[in-house]
Amino acid sequence: MTNTIADIEEADVILITGSNTTENHPVLSSFVKRAVKFRGAKLILVDPRRIKIAAYAHQWLRQNLGADVAWINGMMNVIIEEDLYDKTFVAERTEGFEEMKKVVEKFTPEYVEGISGIPAQQIIDAARMYAAAEKGTILYCMGITQHITGTDNVKSLANLAMLCGNMGIRGGGVNPLRGQNNVQGACDMGGLPNVFTAYQPVNNPDAVKKMEQNWGVSGISDKVGLKVTEMIPKAHSGELKALYIIGENPLVSDPDLNHAEASFKHLDFLVVQDIFMTETAQLADVVLPSACFAEKEGTFSNTERRVQRVRKAVEPPGEAKDDWWITWEIARRMGHETDQYTDSQKIFEEIRKVTPSYAGITYERIEVEGLHWPCPTTEHPGTPILHIGQFPKGRGTFHAIDYIQPAEQTDDEYPLYLTTGRVLYQYHTGTMTRKTQGLNEREGESFVEITPRDADRLKIEDGAMVEISSRRGAIQARIKISDKAVDGTVFIPFHFAEAAANRLTNAALDPVSGIPEYKVCAVKVSAAA
C-alpha cells in the first residue's frame, strides 16, 4: 500500500475493485465501513459479484470479467473530457500524459459499455465522483492482479490516481491489499527471481558485488531466475530437477492443477517444509517439519509496509524446527560454513546491512508498534505514506494501455464464466483454518455460487451436487443459489482440495508478472453423474 490502513478513514472517496474486502480483509473493511457510515465518505465498488461491501457502496459497477483496463480508461476518458483532472499534479509530477490521453480517447463511456457491460452513465457518474474527491483512495486485490492483464490493470489504477492528484497525500494512494500475512515481507526480502532484498536487481553488477561481499561468497548469478509459474513447465520438461518448497501448497493453489501435479511428479527430488502433510508434501521425497508462527521469533511486514514482531508463545510439536534453522542446516551440510546464526535477531541485523529500506528498523524500535519502511536510519520515523512530493524516480509515468480480452472466452461447450476466490471462514488452501471445527461448521465445503436464473436454466436446484468442468479438468461441488452472483458467471472458492477450483482454472499468464488468470475461465455446469 502507498498509504496506511488508518488512512482509509481520511478519504473522501474510496474506490474498491477486485477485493472482497469484508471476507478477505475483514478488519481493514471496518475502516472503509466506518469512513462511509460516520465520516460521509463515498464508496465506489467495481466488482463482478454483489459482494457484501456493495451494501455500503454509493455506486456498484458490475464489469465483465477481465474488462478492468476498459472501465478504468473509460473513467479517465470522462475525467479528461470534462476537464476534472488535477492539472497541477499532472504538470509538475508526471510524464507521459499526452500518450496516455491518446489511447484513452477512444474509451468513451459508450465504447466501454460495449466491452465491460457497465452502463455508460454509471461510468460517467463514478468518474465524476472519484474526480471530485479532494482525497481519493483506491483499494484493490487479486481481482485486479490475477488476469493476463494484471500488470496493465495495476498500472491503469495508478494512472487514474495520478490523473486526479491522489498520490502522496493522506487519504489517497493506490493500495493493494496483501492476502497473506507476510507476502510483503517475502518480496522485500528478495523472495523473487529478479531482485535481492529491497528490490535491488539481480542483474545489477553493483548489487551482486554488494551481496557477494556481505555474504563472503563469489559466483552469485546475475541472471534473472524463474518465476514459480515458469518453474512448473520446466519441471514438466525435465530442465528443473530439484525443488525445495517452504510453507506453500501449490497442489491446491496453482492454476491448472492436473498439469501442475504431473509436473511435480517429473522432478528428481522434491523437498517440502511445512507444518502439515499437505497435498504438496505428499508428493515430496523428503518432508521437513517446521514451527508455526506461534512457535517462533521474528518479524512479518504487513500490507501497509509495517514491520511487526512475531513472538514465540509455545514450543513447536515434536521435532519441528524454525524454518531458518532448517534451511541453514542444509547450507551448512553442503559445506557452507560461513555465517552461523543463533537466533532470528541476528539474521535481522544482517538484513539491515544489505536492505536499505530496513536499515533503520531494529527489534527494540518495533517492540511496541511496528515501523513502515522505507526506514533508512535508526533516527528515521518510517514512511507511512509513499511518494509525498516526489516519486522515487522523479516523475510518475502515465502508461498508455489498451484493452486486451481475457485468454479464455465462453463458447457453446463452456457457456459460463468462472471466477475464484476465498470465503470469510476459510483461508487459502485451508491447511490452517480447516483444523477449527467451528469454521468448518460455518463453511466447510466447496460450492458453486450461481444466480437463480442460471440455475433455473440448467434445471438445477439449490444444494444439488453438480459437475463443473473446463478444458482442463472437472470437479464436483454443491450448487449455492445466491444473490451475490451475476448472470453468466459462477464463483467457486479455491480452499477445498477435494473439489479444488484450480483443476478448472487457466494457467495463462500475465507476460510481466507471471500471475495466472485465476479470475476468468470458461466452464460448464451439469448435474453430477
Partner 1 sequence: MDNGNMIIINGNEIPFEPGETILQAAQRKSIEIPTLCYLKGASPTGECRMCVVEVEGARNLVASCAAPAGKGMVVHTESPRVVEARRLLLKLLLSSGNHNCAVRKSDDQDWTGFQLSVQKEDSSAELCPAWGDCKLQNLAYQYQVTGEQFPRTETPYPMETVNPFIVRDFSRCIKCGRCVQACCDIQVNDAISFGYRGSNTKVIAAGDRPLKDSDCVFCGECVQACPVATLMEKDARYRIRPWETEKVRTTCSYCGVGCQLNLHVKEGEVVQVTGVEEIAPNYGSLCVKGRFGFNFINAPDRLKSPMIKKEDGTFREASWDEALDLVAEKFKAVRDDHGPDAFGLLTSARVTNEENYIAQKFARAVMKTNNVDHCARL
Which of 96, 119, 193, 488 is close enough to bind partner 1 by CB under 8 A? Answer: 193
The verdict on 449 binding partner 1 (CB under 8 A) reads no
> Are 448 and 489 within 8 A, CB to CB?
no
The verdict on 391 binding partner 1 (CB under 8 A) reads no
Cα–Cα dist 406/386, whole Å: 32
Which of 322, 449, 454, 517 is close enough to bind partner 1 by CB under 8 A? Answer: 322
**Contacts (CB under 8 A) with partner 1, residues 399-438:** 424-425, 427, 431-433, 435-438
* Span near partner 1 by CB under 8 A; candidates 59-67, 154-162, 319-327, 410-418: 319-327
Cα–Cα dist 196/355, whole Å: 9
The verdict on 26 binding partner 1 (CB under 8 A) reads yes
Cα–Cα dist 511/508, whole Å: 9
Cα–Cα dist 152/138, whole Å: 16
Question: CB of residue 527 vs partner 1: minimum separation in angstroms?
Answer: 30
Cα–Cα dist 76/68, whole Å: 12
Interface map 39-78 toward partner 1 (x if CB under 8 A): -----------------x----------------------
> Are 414 and 470 within 8 A, CB to CB?
yes
**333 vs 459, beta carbon nearer partner 1:** 333
The verdict on 333 binding partner 1 (CB under 8 A) reads yes
What is the torsion angle, in degrees rounded to the nearest 10, for the CA atoms of residue 503, residue 515, residue 495 and residue 409?
Answer: -50
Question: CB of residue 499 vs partner 1: minimum separation in angstroms?
Answer: 18
**37 vs 471, beta carbon nearer partner 1:** 37
Which of 13, 138, 243, 448 is close enough to bind partner 1 by CB under 8 A? Answer: 243
Question: CB of residue 353 vs partner 1: minimum separation in angstroms?
Answer: 11
Question: CB of residue 76 vs partner 1: minimum separation in angstroms?
Answer: 27
The verdict on 326 binding partner 1 (CB under 8 A) reads yes
Determine the size of the site formed for partner 1 (CB under 8 A). Answer: 149
The verdict on 513 binding partner 1 (CB under 8 A) reads yes
* Span near partner 1 by CB under 8 A; candidates 96-104, 342-350, 408-416, 467-475: 342-350
> Are 363 and 348 within 8 A, CB to CB?
yes
399: its cell numbers: 502508461
**Contacts (CB under 8 A) with partner 1, residues 475-494:** none
Cα–Cα dist 370/383, whole Å: 11
* Span near partner 1 by CB under 8 A; candidates 72-80, 413-421, 481-489, 515-523: 515-523
**Contacts (CB under 8 A) with partner 1, residues 73-132:** none
Half-sphere exposure of 502 (CA within 13 A, CB side): 27
What residue type is assigned to position 207 of the chain? Answer: A
Cα–Cα dist 311/291, whole Å: 12
The verdict on 211 binding partner 1 (CB under 8 A) reads yes
DSSP class of residue 54 equals G
DSSP class of residue 293 equals G
What residue type is assigned to position 77 of the chain? Answer: N
* Span near partner 1 by CB under 8 A; candidates 73-81, 86-94, 317-325, 477-485: 317-325
3-state secondary structure of 90: helix
* Span near partner 1 by CB under 8 A; candidates 106-114, 124-132, 439-447, 453-461: 439-447
What residue type is assigned to position 441 of the chain? Answer: E
**108 vs 302, beta carbon nearer partner 1:** 302
The verdict on 30 binding partner 1 (CB under 8 A) reads yes
**Contacts (CB under 8 A) with partner 1, residues 143-172:** 145
The verdict on 233 binding partner 1 (CB under 8 A) reads no
3-state secondary structure of 144: helix
> Are 308 and 300 within 8 A, CB to CB?
yes
Listed residue (41, 43, 64, 68) closest to 55, CA to CA: 43
* Span near partner 1 by CB under 8 A; candidates 30-38, 87-95, 115-123, 472-480: 30-38
Question: CB of residue 18 vs partner 1: minimum separation in angstroms?
Answer: 15
**Contacts (CB under 8 A) with partner 1, residues 247-306:** 247-248, 250, 253-255, 268-269, 271, 274-277, 281, 284-290, 292-296, 298-304, 306
Give the list of residues 6+ apart from residue 27 with CB closer than 8 angstroms, or none.
none
**Contacts (CB under 8 A) with partner 1, residues 493-512:** none
The verdict on 184 binding partner 1 (CB under 8 A) reads yes
Give the list of residues 6+ apart from residue 478 with CB closer than 8 angstroms, or none.
445, 446, 447, 448, 463, 464, 465, 466
Which of 34, 39, 209, 471 is close enough to bind partner 1 by CB under 8 A? Answer: 34
**Contacts (CB under 8 A) with partner 1, residues 353-372:** 368-370
- CB-count burial class (<10 Å; 0-12, 13-18, 19+) for 49: buried
**331 vs 527, beta carbon nearer partner 1:** 331
3-state secondary structure of 342: coil
* 3-state helix/strand/coil string of 120-142: HHHHHHHHHHHHHCCCEEEEECH
The verdict on 441 binding partner 1 (CB under 8 A) reads yes
